[in-house]
Amino acid sequence: MIFLTFNPYGFNLNLPRFGVDREEKALRGKYKFAIMAPFSKISTELTMNAIFRKIVVIAFLFIFVPLFASTLWGFPPAAKPRISVLATGGTIAGAAPVATQTIGYQAAELPVGEVLASVPDLGRIADIHGEQVVQIARENMNPDIWMRIARRCDDLLSRDNADGIVITQGTDTLEETAYFLNLTLKSRKPVVLVGAMRPATALSADGSLNLYNAVATAASPLTRGQGVLVVMNDMVNAAREVTKTSTFSVETFRSPDLGALGYIKSGRVHLYRGPSRRHTTDTPFYLKNIEKLPKIEILYGYAGSGTAAVEAAVKAGVAGIVYAATGNGSLPEAAKAALAAASKKGVFVVRSSRTGSGMVARNGEVNDDALGFVAADNLNPQKARILLMLALTATQDAKVIQQYFDTY
Model pLDDT for residues 206-234, shown as the tens digit of each residue? 999 999 999 999 999 999 999 999 999 99
197 Cβ contact partners less than 8 Å away, ≥ 6 residues apart: 91, 171, 206, 248, 249, 250, 252
CA gap 334, 22 in Å, rounded: 106
pLDDT band at 373 (very low <50, low <70, confident <90, very high): very high
Q: Which residue of the set 5, 47, 71, 91 is catalytic?
A: 91
Question: Catalytic annotation on 5?
Answer: no
Q: What is the mean pLDDT of residues 311-334?
A: 98
Residue-range domains of the chain with CATH: 3-73 (no CATH), 82-281 (3.40.50.1170), 293-407 (3.40.50.40)
Q: What is the mean pLDDT of residues 274-283?
A: 97
CA gap 151, 149 in Å, rounded: 6
Task: Identify the pLDDT of residue 289.
Answer: 86
pLDDT digits (tens, 9 = 90+) for 162-198: 999 999 999 999 999 999 999 999 999 999 999 999 9
25 Cβ contact partners less than 8 Å away, ≥ 6 residues apart: 17
Cβ proximity of 136 and 89 under 8 Å = yes
Task: Identify the pLDDT of residue 61.
Answer: 54
Task: Identify the pLDDT of residue 33.
Answer: 41
pLDDT band at 26 (very low <50, low <70, confident <90, very high): very low
Amino acid at 341: A
Tell me the range of 5-14, 40-49, 150-159 where mean pLDDT is highest.
Answer: 150-159
Q: DSSP label at 330?
A: B
Q: What is the mean pLDDT of residues 382-408?
A: 98
Mean pLDDT check: name the lowest of 41-50, 145-154, 166-175, 232-241.
41-50
Task: Identify the pLDDT of residue 138.
Answer: 86
The pTM (predicted TM-score) of the whole model is 0.82
Amino acid at 166: V
Q: What is the mean pLDDT of residues 354-378?
A: 97
154 Cβ contact partners less than 8 Å away, ≥ 6 residues apart: 185, 186, 187, 287
CA gap 167, 397 in Å, rounded: 34
Closest among 365, 363, 323 to 343, alpha carbons compared: 323
Handedness of CA 44, 50, 52, 54 (dihedral sign): negative
